[in-house]
Structure 1
């Protein structure tokens, strides 16, 4: 008990976590002079606790005379899973059940379908009864009540997370339900109106008043703690504009020093998978994309349990380890960084992703007095960073004075976006834990909404999940509103941790910034394991405080006497050179302790004894450091917006053609059509033997050879992927199986399988365009085989020949060799590690295509005809795909067919093709000059 009281005392005096009466909120402005002006008495804002509200609503939903008048709406996160409809988390439920489900009967499916938009309970019963005459109305009522109880349907009594006056919401719903019936639930409505008058707003704090109000609320609905309280401070605080400038500069430094300069690796992998399957112009319906059975599911880290596997040691890690070790050698507790040091830590040549459009920064301001603060003698110690400019302050807006609140709402609505023309969207959902609703409700501040698992009437500014699709931009994935043909950028107006969000909510929130340079408090990476890490300062900003790892095993155990423990602790403190003030704990569970006080040492000992491993002890500010604020602990929250111009909208949104583009076609399952897709395990060392000698033999004895093409694959295992069109799938499968059997006898192949085929409509087009593209794939495969067969006797370097083939393919797609060469020259040169050998370059530039072996020339002519037909189909469709836009993918496929999947070889061959094009352009320019 004594330790618990001590913790409360320390939190009340030394922690700035605005919740309850321990700390309060006030607006902050920047000016030329620092000032703290008391402007009256602090006041409390009282709200109903989420658990009390849930108890009240649950009571009303089981009242027959109430529920039959309520509108209900289907939960848009409920999923059909075989014979059941599953709700992963029941919205607004106090139970800890992970998921719940109901049988997916015909009547249930009808009810859910009819309630896609709000529908009165009674009308829903009428519709179910009319559709199933043998189904008693009482049974239908029980069914609908069960759907509400399981969260499959959501009643209008449940306020959305953008509602900051929930009792008003419940009253309005009841008034609408009993319109024309003033006696309906009259006593309850009168009592709720009385309570509503005593809740909300602000008033001076009074324990007696709060206890009496809590007792009245318990008489309406049971709850252990029916009240949630926030404290509004009356102080008017101004900080020098220098503080804002330092914070803005620190955000840029943290962007340069981030360990994830191009976003989380898992999201980069996810984007690569997206582009690989769907291409750059497809718009994939959201529900289909996140379905792991038919789409890509969600990124890998969404399902990670515990810590991710350790990443290999990076150059950044090595530099941080060296810097920390140097600080120990020099005996310093703080390292001061300048721009050169920041550049060195970041590393040369790092590719940094896009800039996040806005964040918020939490910090302590340390100065001994207001005068010192005004004169620039201060330190800004960073304590946190929110994912958006309104992440931390959003939930406090309703507790601010009207003028301040309206000013902040206007500024939030004007925040920049990442993609030009994007719609700023506020994401609204009930958190996974009911109690979290107390801190995760925030008013609507953005013009558009996406609502998850909420009862929300249909409105023009509400974007439905079925209206959302995902497409690829140049360096990111973007959400798109299909009906509006605009990019959508969701964010939240609160600081919800990802584990409190629905899985789909997290996906929508992370996706728009997934490949941005990841902004977060300074991350020591692999150096986090060190027993000591120095403080890092940039200008007047403390990017990271000094910290020590203290192992409880180095101290006497819990059964040791206080004297024994204290003696050991003082010796350890002296050896580690710990300061007088430290901080332990994580997130909002931090304790700031004074090591010279016995009570604080007792708290530290309890914290160490309860820890399973080493504890991080962080250097902390003393009350003197907060002298400018009379020694009070605090955090300031500053929104920071980017001045970088937004990225261009993706091609799928801006390109010509009908909208929305066709959804990607369904995968073609083995045996479901006339397209056979087979994967044959072939070692890279024998791949070309199989292609040049054995593959032609597969089709030699067919009555009529099918249309076929191939691709060499390296991942997940080396294999030859073969695809063909046939009128007799079974016969084709038998022929391929016998062929693979012959290869196995020669030890040229291993296992094989018939695969699902994913048509790449987003990359090459749909319908007749995709059919023409597949004929081009076949012609290109034939050309690649002709090149392989001719190589041994031709004396031509394989990469030089492939480069010439790429130039020919470019010319075929763009209509002429002149246009093809100019396109290659205009594209940026790819950088590669290996230099281009002079003799290979000379051969590539001087080779005359008309002198190549006849089989190669013939194959190239056939490919040119196939390319012309494909170009005609693309032009007829008039969609976002053009001959130039698909060329890079076609060239990549040709290199993979001719040389195999080798990124270095591909870059080198592309550079050779560009040199061939440059030589051709120069010859043409010289010829024109001579003719004049």
Structure 2
């Protein structure tokens, strides 16, 4: 029985975060009302601007607006007054209706799922204030610039530094303008010495003395300048650089200065202690009583370091007890599974869409490449260039889904209704066929509003679940990260359990999670990623860590490979795959490319967790609410723009508002709507003149193709039930989920062992010392022949066949082989092996004449000479690659002859029959029994596919399979002319297989034989019929059916 994906995919953990705005809906009173004069509104606004709690919140969140508040009563400058009104109204609405934490505008609390529902919010809100990271990092730079302090600091060479030729490189740049590129410096003897001696940290004064000993006579100031340049460019890191996996980065810097001496450091220490005293004093003040201390504090801090915002403030709401009945967990779990199943995710990361093909072309499928080499465009292939899949590649189900949604939309509009109640049948129809339980994230967290009229209704289940505009995150605990130090020790302990839950879910001891720790190019953003890490391992890029070395993973320790079509990262030190994760909500696009690359690899197997999407219907001006049971899957929404017919040719604000009210009535807009996108939005009252003017101001600024999005609240204000001492609040909860064990990928234990054996084998790759790369002029000549598409058989079965016969006859070459390829242009990749001088001096002139002849026949437009890189790991390692190449050569000869026989001698045997013959022959001579070959194919194809095609020619396929198994190919009439050549290939396959067995005994094999024989079959099919994957799949299905039928026949004979 199929698992119930809609109910059981995720389990909610037993805790959550409660987020509520600072103000209750009663706090701003008349602004939510509708029937008052403009003068009365202005009087209210001016009075609210004097409210000490509101003033302090504005001061912390927007100092510029705080300074502009007096303009509310500035009748002499209407422009400044209107700007102040707009800003103040929006911030008032934000701190009343939006739960997203920011400064003092909204706060967070810790809640538990228990038997009963109890929510008691007190008045003892607590502020948590920290120096802003932009200020703190600038302070550190200033301290490092003081020579007397610098000499006392420990410095450590950056573990991310690597060597390339005569340069030392970093995979990132600290310069904001060049943050998307790396940096390099000359690899001089002195640079090498400094980086080596400081690997385990050294006091700067000791480093100075060591350099002076090696450079007698060089002035000290020159050496100091040299050291300082290395620090400024991040090749050396001082101990002052804050650790981002500790919430209190300010305290960390103060601790590092404790044992330093001198007038300069004492002065700084006293300043920091004074700042710490003021921070403690400010945090102790009640809301509305901290304005004076805050202004004093930021004034003092700006004297030390001038930045726009020197402080970062968060608010912990005064919750005395917050528990929700655990009965709601089942509904939330069903909601989570349904949101995932019906989301419009592509089902795979777009980041690596083309990159993996570039990787496989350069390195092959079974090679692990050092990370820093891979992403260096001078050594490897650089970072991915993000390209979306072609928009016209819609699956049949996607088209069906969009048509189904259009029906729902049309039914709602025809019936003049704003809601569509979905059934189980509807949900099944809307399910996204590109995602499944197997590509669901291991853990997530989702944001919800729970709307009901009272606690009693909540307990009875009479509530509405409204997923938030921002769906959540791709990892449990991330939204808690920067608040973990203020949510209490119980919450922190709960967060620390998440890694254990995730490990249990993936159920693979060869995989570990590692926290990615890296400074951002924009220092202020580091506020979001200053967290208390819950992870055992860390990948640290360009900063400090207090983890023990055994739990630190350097970039130089990481290699990248491909397994089952997706990239993976592996630590050589641990010999385990690494899943890079983050414990915060900072967007990966805000980081250096190396960070994003690692993060994307950690995410690539998982579909994006997106909210419900209407697809192409998003452009419609009206979309109805979609509900399922008590869940609002998608709220009703409206779009207006300059093309909205009723708003065209409007001559005044008054006329525009009148027209808008007509639209509102016709389009069934409710009283309360959000304006904005995702969670960057505020709630407006469409009965309120000031709020309508807000929409008008945005409307007149619209450019072509821009729209204003209005989204319904989804419930009434009577369904607010979280109450503080001030009144009722909007609310939002953040719930972490873990994927259930029942939805583990269905991988047999045997397959799991094989996969991990492969990784252990490949681990040896980094130690190989062999002739991998062959440049033009070596013993291998590598050509790419372009300009053929429809006439590839003519080239391979006639022209290339004749050329190679000539070259072998003249003894100019020892071996040759070819494959077909697209990059994206179709071409033939041809390799010749022989004496380097002969290849260069004799064969190239022959190739030139041959190419001119082909060009005249329309068979070639160009050819390139390129570098040949052996796929050593894919075919077993250094000790067997030459035997693999011998097989490639004989297989190329076999294929050319078979194409010649069929195309030019008109033999009746089909390509499907030729393919089946060769697949079974490769299995047989490589040492695979009939059962082993059948088992391998069963893992790669569905036994139900291409059954009809097999049955239509069953007798012929059975005859071929039987004769090949009996090694009696000479009796296959159409192929008796090349029986000897097939036999030579069989001899080469046996020799290759035997060598692999010897390598296995020496524990030196870089792959497993099952994957090697699969690669041999794949490349044979490529040579025979080309690069079309579906045709390859068809051949393998028919080969599978042939082996299965032969097995049954033999069993019957027994």
Query: Do they fold alike, i.e. is TM over 0.5?
Result: yes
Distance 2:779 2:858 in 1: 30
Map 1:116-195 onto structure 2 (within 5 A): 116-133=199-216, 135-176=218-259, 178=260, 181=261, 185-195=265-275
Q: TM-score, normalised by structure 1?
A: 0.91
Q: Determine the structure 1 residue equivalent to 2:497.
A: 410
Q: Determine the structure 1 residue equivalent to 2:90.
A: 7
The question of 1:680 aligning with 2:771 is answered no
SS in 1 for 2:439: coil
The question of 1:708 aligning with 2:822 is answered no
The question of 1:364 aligning with 2:449 is answered yes
List runs of 5+ in structure 1 lacking aligned partners: none
Q: Determine the structure 2 residue equivalent to 1:18.
A: 101
Say whether the 8 Å CA contact 2:172–2:183 is kept in structure 1. no
Distance 2:661 2:352 in 1: 47
Say whether the 8 Å CA contact 1:845–1:919 is kept in structure 2. yes
Change (3 A) 1:312 1:261: closer
The question of 1:742 aligning with 2:853 is answered yes
Distance 1:656 1:670 in 2: 29
SS in 2 for 1:19: coil
SS in 1 for 2:552: coil
Change (3 A) 1:623 1:806: same
1:76 CA displacement = 5.2
The question of 1:579 aligning with 2:654 is answered no
List runs of 5+ in structure 2 lacking aligned partners: 1-83, 964-968
Q: Determine the structure 2 residue equivalent to 1:662.
A: 765
- Post-superposition Cα deviations, 1:567-623, rounded to whole Å, max 9, x if no partner, equal 122122223221111111234431111111122112222222333211211111543
1:382 CA displacement = 0.8
Say whether the 8 Å CA contact 2:762–2:873 is kept in structure 1. no
1:755 CA displacement = 2.0
Which range is displaced more, 34-43 or 395-404?
A: 34-43
- Post-superposition Cα deviations, 1:374-407, rounded to whole Å, max 9, x if no partner, equal 1111111111221211121111101112333333
Residue 231 of structure 1, aligned match among 274, 298, 315: 315
SS in 1 for 2:497: helix
Say whether the 8 Å CA contact 1:485–1:659 is kept in structure 2. no
Distance 1:389 1:436 in 2: 21
Q: Determine the structure 2 residue equivalent to 1:440.
A: 529
- Post-superposition Cα deviations, 1:720-773, rounded to whole Å, max 9, x if no partner, equal 211121212313333322222222233222211112323222321221211111
Change (3 A) 1:403 1:917: closer
Distance 2:242 2:192 in 1: 25
SS in 2 for 1:454: coil
Residue 569 of structure 2, aligned match among 474, 479, 482: 479
Q: TM-score, normalised by structure 2?
A: 0.81
Distance 2:486 2:861 in 1: 69
Q: Determine the structure 2 residue equivalent to 1:53.
A: 136
Distance 1:438 1:112 in 2: 30
Q: Determine the structure 2 residue equivalent to 1:730.
A: 840
Change (3 A) 1:98 1:825: closer
Say whether the 8 Å CA contact 1:709–1:722 is kept in structure 2. yes
Q: Determine the structure 2 residue equivalent to 1:333.
A: 418
Distance 1:636 1:435 in 2: 26
Change (3 A) 1:188 1:900: closer
1:109 CA displacement = 5.5
Distance 1:216 1:285 in 2: 48
1:361 CA displacement = 0.3
- Post-superposition Cα deviations, 1:214-272, rounded to whole Å, max 9, x if no partner, equal 34434544444322111111122222223322222122112222333531244354445
- Post-superposition Cα deviations, 1:360-382, rounded to whole Å, max 9, x if no partner, equal 10111111211111111111111
Say whether the 8 Å CA contact 2:366–2:871 is kept in structure 1. no
Which range is displaced more, 319-328 or 794-803?
A: 319-328
Change (3 A) 1:491 1:839: closer
- Post-superposition Cα deviations, 1:613-651, rounded to whole Å, max 9, x if no partner, equal 112111115432313445312221000110136556685
Q: Determine the structure 2 residue equivalent to 1:354.
A: 439
SS in 2 for 1:720: strand
Residue 584 of structure 2, aligned match among 488, 494, 497: 494
Change (3 A) 1:826 1:125: closer
1:862 CA displacement = 0.8
1:448 CA displacement = 1.0
1:100 CA displacement = 8.5
- Post-superposition Cα deviations, 1:878-932, rounded to whole Å, max 9, x if no partner, equal 235233222222112112212223333323322332233223323322332xxxx
Change (3 A) 1:548 1:559: closer
Distance 1:686 1:308 in 2: 29
Residue 773 of structure 1, aligned match among 884, 902, 905: 884
Which range is displaced more, 862-871 or 657-666?
A: 657-666
Distance 2:120 2:466 in 1: 23
Map 1:869-884 onto structure 2 (within 5 A): 869-878=991-1000, 879=1005, 881-884=1007-1010
Distance 2:176 2:357 in 1: 40
Which range is displaced more, 496-505 or 215-224?
A: 215-224
Say whether the 8 Å CA contact 1:359–1:639 is kept in structure 2. yes
The question of 1:527 aligning with 2:617 is answered yes
Change (3 A) 1:153 1:335: farther
Residue 900 of structure 2, aligned match among 780, 785, 789: 789
The question of 1:619 aligning with 2:712 is answered yes
Say whether the 8 Å CA contact 1:813–1:887 is kept in structure 2. yes
Distance 1:887 1:204 in 2: 73
Change (3 A) 1:901 1:411: closer
How many matched pairs? 920
1:47 CA displacement = 1.0
1:190 CA displacement = 3.3
SS in 1 for 2:832: strand
- Post-superposition Cα deviations, 1:537-568, rounded to whole Å, max 9, x if no partner, equal 23322222111111145476999533222212
Change (3 A) 1:914 1:145: same
Say whether the 8 Å CA contact 1:73–1:119 is kept in structure 2. yes
SS in 1 for 2:720: helix
Q: Determine the structure 2 residue equivalent to 1:262.
A: 347
Residue 863 of structure 1, aligned match among 978, 985, 989: 985
Map 1:213-224 onto structure 2 (within 5 A): 213-224=297-308
Q: Determine the structure 2 residue equivalent to 1:392.
A: 479
Distance 1:818 1:598 in 2: 79
1:780 CA displacement = 0.9
- Post-superposition Cα deviations, 1:1-57, rounded to whole Å, max 9, x if no partner, equal 111111111111111121211111111111233221135511111111223213322
Q: Determine the structure 2 residue equivalent to 1:633.
A: 730
- What is the RMSD of the two structures over their aligned residues, measured on CA atoms? 3.2
Distance 2:180 2:822 in 1: 40
1:454 CA displacement = 1.1
Change (3 A) 1:104 1:603: farther
Say whether the 8 Å CA contact 2:722–2:730 is kept in structure 1. no
Which range is displaced more, 722-731 or 344-353?
A: 344-353
1:670 CA displacement = 3.7
Change (3 A) 1:474 1:411: same
Distance 2:695 2:816 in 1: 72
Residue 537 of structure 1, aligned match among 622, 627, 644: 627
Distance 1:489 1:348 in 2: 26
Q: Determine the structure 1 residue equivalent to 2:825.
A: 717
1:517 CA displacement = 2.7
SS in 1 for 2:850: helix
Distance 2:233 2:125 in 1: 43
Distance 1:506 1:656 in 2: 24
- Post-superposition Cα deviations, 1:152-185, rounded to whole Å, max 9, x if no partner, equal 4332211021122122211221124x2xx47662
Distance 1:71 1:721 in 2: 55
Change (3 A) 1:287 1:61: same
Say whether the 8 Å CA contact 1:35–1:239 is kept in structure 2. yes
SS in 1 for 2:873: helix
1:667 CA displacement = 6.7
Residue 805 of structure 1, aligned match among 918, 927, 930: 918
SS in 2 for 1:432: coil
- Post-superposition Cα deviations, 1:113-156, rounded to whole Å, max 9, x if no partner, equal 55455333234334444455564332121122123234443322
